[in-house]
Amino acid sequence: MTLSATPDYILSVFIVFCRVGGCLMAMPGFSSPRVSIQIRLALALASTFAVAPMVVDSIMPVVTAAPQSEIYRILVTELLLGGLIGLFGRAFFEGIRMMAGASAQMSSFNMAVPMVEEYQQLPPFAEMVSLSVMAMMFISNAHADVFAALMQSYVSVPVGSQYVPAAGIDQLTTKLLYATMLALRITSPFIVYGLIVNLSLGITNRLMPQMPVYFIGMPFVMAGGLYLLWKVITEVITLFFAGLDTWLQLI
């Protein structure tokens, strides 16, 4: 590989930056508003300089032969592809976050608090699950596999190839379905528990309308939810890591 900073070489590196930066712009954790713009930009540049030497040789012939109008199309396509890969990751974590919020509602942990990594509000139980899975992604070095998937994307979708929106939407729908099903498996004990408990409280309230069932039963419902979390937390973590590994193989 020639290291001379020719215009074609610089443009090829910038094209790599478009895909890598587009991915990090949408990827959970990297795109958190709690991370400053300067740090995100530095991370995108560092990742680009790490990936570029391995793919720039295959990009430069395309850049050299392409007219100016084609260069514009390639830049837009690379941004869309990088953003789509990042959205695959966001779909995975948003699915778990959504079902964790539903589980918190079913288990009466429904007081909304600000999220640590986002500006939204979630119940404390859902925030704990969301922050835990985010931390486990970095602790287990699974975030490094995201960059491996980016490298693989240059084999699957080379620079200069035609971008097909329908194919991207179809893949994103598949990832959303997979993430939702995995989240449903992880949170199903809490949903079943909530249905049973709330049905029991409803029947009790109909039988004894003079008793404030909600205020009396709420501490027991929350205690039962915490006990259930203690019993199934190991299985939840196992299912999450298995799903995360499968997801990283799909992107």
pLDDT one-digit tens code per residue, 141-175:
777 777 887 888 888 888 877 777 777 788 778 87
Helices and strands in the chain: count of H runs, count of E runs: 7, 2
- Encode 146-185: b = buried (16+ Cβ within 10 Å), e = exposed: beebbeebbeebebbeeeeeeebeebeeebbebbbebbbb
> Residue 84: CB partners within 8 Å, gap ≥ 6?
168, 171, 172
Written as six digits, the tokens of 63 are: 């850049």
pLDDT-based confidence at residue 17 (cuts at 50, 70, 90): very high
Average pLDDT over residues 217-234: 81
Written as six digits, the tokens of 175 are: 């990832």
Residue 27 DSSP one-character state: S
For residue 16, give the H/E element and its range: helix 7-26
Name the packing angle between helices 143-156 and 37-65 (round to 10°). Answer: 20
pLDDT of amino acid 2: 46
Total Cβ atoms within 10 A of residue 201: 18
Task: Give the range among 2-6, 23-27, 49-53, 196-200 with minimum mean pLDDT.
Answer: 2-6
Q: What pTM value is reported for the model? A: 0.76
DSSP string spanning 92-129?
HHHHHHHHHHHHHHHTT----EE-SSSSSEE-HHHHHH
Q: How far apart, in Å, are the Cα atoms of 138 and each of 51, 81, 82? A: 20, 23, 20
- Cβ atoms 225, 123 nearer than 8 A: no
pLDDT of amino acid 176: 80
Cα separation, 87 vs 93, whole angstroms = 10
